[in-house]
Amino acid sequence: MSAAIAVPRHTLSETPNSRTIEIYEWVITASTNPISNATECDALQAALGFPLPEMTFGNNYLSLEHRASGWRMVFDAKGALLGVKGGELVEGDGGVKVGYADAWLKSRTDPGTSLPLPTTVTAKPYDWTYTTMYSGHHPDFDESSGGPSCSATWTEADPENQDHSIPLSELTRPDPILFYAEVPLFEDELHDNGSSNLIVRIRVMPTCIFILSRFTLRVDNVLFRTHDTRMFYSFASNPAPVVRQVSGWEAPYDRVKRQLPRRNDLTPLTDVNFIAKILAEMPTEASQKIGGGTRWRGLRTKVEVAKLDSKS
C-alpha cells in the first residue's frame, strides 16, 4: 500500500456557472454554461467566417494562472475554432470526403456511359469536420499591467530529463482529487455523417495538475481522428516546467471497427475514450504516418516544456 498523500492547503470557490481552486501559486477556473444563444453565435460566426458547430459553448472556458510568474493559459471555444481551416483545404489540412459520395455519384450516372465520374471536391469553403489542433492559448495582454502576459516560451522537451515527461504512474495512483471539471467547447453531428467534438478535462491532485484536451472526429465509413493535448505540472519540483504533450492519430473506419469487443455492437464507436485508446495502441506507422490517407499534418507526437520564472 502506498503512503498517504498529504493534502496541501487550497481554497475552493464557486458561482452558479464556474468553479475555482487556488493552490500554491495557481488560480484555476472552469466555467460551464449553456449552449451559446443566437446573438452570441452570430457574433462568433462573423468573427470566424464559417458556420458554427451545432452545439457551440462559446461561454465555456478553462483558465490557469501561475501568479508567481504571470503565466496564463486558456482553453475556450473561440480559440479552438480559430484552429479550424477556413477557405479551400490544401495539402496537410486533412480534408475528408463523406463515405457515400462516390456511391451517390455512381447511382446518378448512366451505367452504360463511358464518361468518367465527375471530380468531387469539398463543397463548403471551410473544413466541415471542424478538425482543430488547438492546444490552448495564452491571453495577449496582462489586464493588470496593460502589457503582454508572460507566456513562457515553449521549447522542445529533453527526452533524457525526467522532469520533461508526464509520469503516468503518478496519474494512475488513487490520490485524492481536489478539483475536477469537464468543459465541452463544441460538438457537431456532421449532417448525420458522424461526430466532431472537443472537450477539456482537468484534475488537480495534491501533487500535480493534469489537463486533457481531446478533439475526436468520426466520419462514418471513412475514418476516425483524435487530437490530444496533455498538460502536466508537478507541485513537487520548484521551479517545475509545464509539460505539454501533443498527439494526433487517425485510421480508416473499418480498421477501428475491427477492434470492437463484440462485432454486432457498434456502441463503442461513439465512445471517444474507446476511439482514442484504439488509435493510440496502433503501430505508429499505421496511425501517425499512413493514418486515414489524408496526409493530415496533425499526425505526430511532440513534447514541449515551458519554464515558469518568477516575476522580476
In this prediction, residue 292 carries a pLDDT of 95
Q: What is the mean pLDDT of the chain?
A: 88
Q: Do residues 271 and 216 lie in contact, with contact meaning Cβ atoms separated by under 8 Å?
A: no
List the beta bridge partners of residue 186.
Answer: 56, 198
Give burial (CB, 10 Å; 0-12/13-18/19+) of 280: middle
In this prediction, residue 83 carries a pLDDT of 97
Closest CA to 206 of 8, 3, 1, 2: 8
In this prediction, residue 142 carries a pLDDT of 46
Grid cell of 166 as nine digits: 508526464
Average pLDDT over residues 122-135: 84
Average pLDDT over residues 273-288: 97
Predicted structure pTM score: 0.88
pLDDT in tens, 137-191: 998 644 444 444 555 689 999 999 999 999 988 899 999 999 999 999 999 999 9
Q: Check whether 103 has a pLDDT greater than 50.
A: no
Q: Residue 50: pLDDT band by 50, 70, 90 thresholds? A: very high
**Where are the strands (E) in the chain, listed by range?**
10-15, 18-23, 26-31, 55-56, 61-66, 71-76, 155-156, 179-188, 194-205, 208-219, 223-234, 241-252, 300-307
Q: Check whether 136 has a pLDDT greater than 50.
A: yes
Closest CA to 231 of 173, 309, 308: 308
Q: Check whether 282 has a pLDDT greater than 70.
A: yes
- Rounded Cα gap, residues 262 and 121, in angstroms: 36
